[in-house]
Amino acid sequence: MTGQIVDTDIDGLLTAALLHDHFGWPIMGFYDKATLWLDADIEPPLDLTSVVWVDAEMLWPGARVLSQHVPAQRRSDLRAVGTLRASVNPSVIAGHAQVGDYANKYPFGTFQWAWWVLNRDPASARLDNGRGVGTGLAWMPDGGFQSVNGRFRDNCIRWATQHMPGSLMSPLAHGDVSDVRASVREAEAWLQQHSGVRRGWVNHQWRMPIREHLDDAVDLSDANGFGQAGLILGAIKTFYAWSRELVLPPRYRAWRGTWMKSQLKGLSDGWLEGANAHRIVSGAAPNPRDYYWTAPGSPVKSGRALSDILPGPAYASRVAV
């Protein structure tokens, strides 16, 4: 791999910083399920064999993914959608789908999963004996601190201690998890103080606020959402005392898709074929009722469509998935 394209929330940033420290992979861009902001110096189409998509469920043929969401509506989808065979995803590996087994899915963020997959020592996460900023960051991504104190508590503890022995959450999951939210609050306060980014936080989660730029490259000389992401990444690096310098691209171009939602029993007929034949870019089920996916065409006439930068059928025929 030569680079990573990252989700725009705190889970994506934490995971990207970890992968950069471990492998040296730079950040090439950001993807929020509707828009891909790519380094303006990269000319299309993307070479998907050199890109890892972080915290985003890409279904485009040839994509390599490190994530944790539930991308399948039914278990049969895991076999039918070829890209999922190149996904490092606990929900995929465990065979979980939206229909039938959603309550037992992986309940945490991509950051905790990546730390465990990389076999990083939990002691280096500065868990502070179960309290403090390190513990808060271990439970923060994707609201694990809420799930462990709600109706998914038993599933959280199983994943933290049995399915992922030695995970970041394991020390606290073996003991009292009633005050884990206090640690998450402390971690949020620490990140705000050391990054200077105090906006964009909702329920101890941060998502990049990005203005729409559809035609020209975005210059990062001003303090926009990309600049804020860089400040938070710098604070993460400081906390963990990671040595690799992570520098974001100075300019981005936006490539738009159409974000869609289904509350029906399933997606439209033929969606499996669509995922294998360039009619679906990415997709995931955030809960047992809804499924979100992105079509490659741009909803804005003046915008560049995702289909203009993602390689087409001729490329996919050369890529084993």
Give the largest Cα separation in the chain, rounded. Answer: 55
Place of tokens 């741009």: 298
Please give the single-letter amino acid code of residue 105: K
Backbone dihedral angles phi then psi of residue 146, each to the nearest 5 degrees: -80, -45
pLDDT recorded at residue 172: 79
Q: Enter the pTM of the model.
A: 0.93
Q: 156: Cβ–Cβ under 8 A, 6 or more apart, which residues?
A: 107, 108, 144, 147, 148, 169, 173
Q: 17: Cβ–Cβ under 8 A, 6 or more apart, which residues?
A: 233, 236, 237, 240, 242, 246
| Half-sphere exposure of residue 262: CA atoms within 13 angstroms, side-chain side | 17
Backbone dihedral angles phi then psi of residue 95, each to the nearest 5 degrees: 80, 30
Q: Per-residue b/e over 185-224, b at no fewer than 16 CB within 10 Å?
A: ebbbebbbebbebeebeeebbbbbebeebeeebbebeeeb
Greatest mean pLDDT among 127-136, 151-160, 270-279: 151-160
pLDDT recorded at residue 81: 92
pLDDT in tens, 117-137: 999 999 899 998 656 899 999
